[in-house]
Amino acid sequence: MKRPARQLYYDDLHEHLGYVLRRAQLAGFEAFRQATHGVDISPARYTAMVIVHANPGLTQSALGAALGTARSGAMTMVDWLEDRGLAERRNRPEDARSWGLFLTPRGETQLRDLKRRVRANDARFAGRLAPSELATLRKLLDKLSG
Amino acid sequence: MKRPARQLYYDDLHEHLGYVLRRAQLAGFEAFRQATHGVDISPARYTAMVIVHANPGLTQSALGAALGTARSGAMTMVDWLEDRGLAERRNRPEDARSWGLFLTPRGETQLRDLKRRVRANDARFAGRLAPSELATLRKLLDKLSG
DNA sequence: TATTGTTATACTCTATAACTATA
DNA sequence: TATAGTTATAGAGTATAACAATA
């Protein structure tokens, strides 16, 4: 038989907004993981697919800036997407230094499926709150991030 | 002269609670970084110090569980704290397999200083919201994480 | 000169698995 | 047998710096 774990104290950690945000964000990652179970994807890569889809032809640098990573990080990201046939680099006539990024038909299809799943699970995750609470939360978080 | 960056579209990312949480959490990390400028610390290590301080004598496994990491991660964490003279491992008479963790006097002093800084900066960061908004936000985030 | 993509490299964080000593 | 700590190892993720091609 297992001894009951000793009671742990957290001092005033729950007063720290950063700590509370971090915990909520980890719960969000976990919800995403469940929503995308069985698909080889991550929050960052999902974000990348959404952004490429919404901005067809954008450059790697622009993608990196949108994701908040260095150019080399965007490079790795696009390699990953291209290796799986989800996105492709095309020549840009107006600037031979850079590529234009596009989702492939397969990438579009997968993104549609992922969006459906993520939306449904987001609703389930957010379902811990009443609709009015959720609207308030989104507003307050945006205000905090701005 | 630099060309103006092309307008970027984010589709419905801002509808996704996980995405909004992630952005807010990154803003929180940045606030922490500013608050602790010049001190060699991180949010996770700060959390570890707070928990050791609040639970003197706890084991590494208990610390790992509190931090949400594997035992080997707690090991690395405690090594880091011990190397800098901030915490120490003491023998536990009641169980020779495990250590009891304690902050050193130096650790206590540094934690006091850090707490002051983090609290002040937390107030500044949270200051983007009205006090009533902040209370609402904390409540909603806790509800979401629970 | 400046920018884009690329490559090499390194550092942090974290997870797994195997080992040891104690229980 | 189960658990705590330890160690080795590997995999993400990310940052910096240097280089070639192009602007």
What one-letter code names the amino acid at B17? L
Nucleotide nearest to B43 (CA to C1'): C13
Task: Determine whether the interchain pair B141/A137 forms a contact, defined as Cβ–Cβ distance below 8 Å.
Answer: yes
* Dihedral sign computed on CA atoms, order B39, B42, B47, B49: negative
pTM: 0.93
Q: How many CB pairs under 8 A join A and B?
A: 173
Would you state the structure tokens that stand for residue A138, as one six-digit string? 């989104």
pLDDT at residue A2 greater than cutoff 70? no
pLDDT at residue B91 greater than cutoff 90? yes
Return the SS3 of A129: coil
In whole angstroms, give the CA distance from residue B4 to residue B2. 6
Would you state the structure tokens that stand for residue B51, as one six-digit string? 């928990």
Task: Determine whether the interchain pair B25/A27 forms a contact, defined as Cβ–Cβ distance below 8 Å.
Answer: no
Q: Which nucleotides of D are covered by protein (CB under 7 A)?
A: 3-9, 12-18, 21-23
Span B34-89, pLDDT tens digits = 999 999 999 999 999 999 999 999 999 999 999 999 999 999 999 999 999 999 99
Q: How far: B110 CA to D5 C1' (Å)?
A: 27
Compare CB distances from A10 to B8, B51, B65 and report the shortest one's residue.
B51
pLDDT at residue B4 greater than cutoff 80? no
Domain regions of chain B by residue span: 40-145
Would you state the structure tokens that stand for residue B127, as one six-digit string? 């200051």
Fold observed for domain A40-145: Arc Repressor Mutant, subunit A (1.10.10)
Tell me the average pLDDT across B19-27. Answer: 95
> Given this model, what pLDDT does residue A7 score?
85
Q: How far: A72 CA to D16 C1' (Å)?
A: 10
- 3-state SS of A35-92 is HCCCCCCCHHHHHHHHHHHHCCCECHHHHHHHHCCCHHHHHHHHHHHHHCCCEEEEEC
Q: How far: A78 CA to D16 C1' (Å)?
A: 20
Residues of A in contact with B16 (CB under 8 A): 118-119, 122
Alpha helices in B36-89 (DSSP H): 43-54, 60-67, 71-83
Span A25-48, pLDDT tens digits = 999 999 999 999 999 999 999 999
Residues of A in contact with B50 (CB under 8 A): 10-11, 13
pLDDT averaged over every residue in chain A? 93
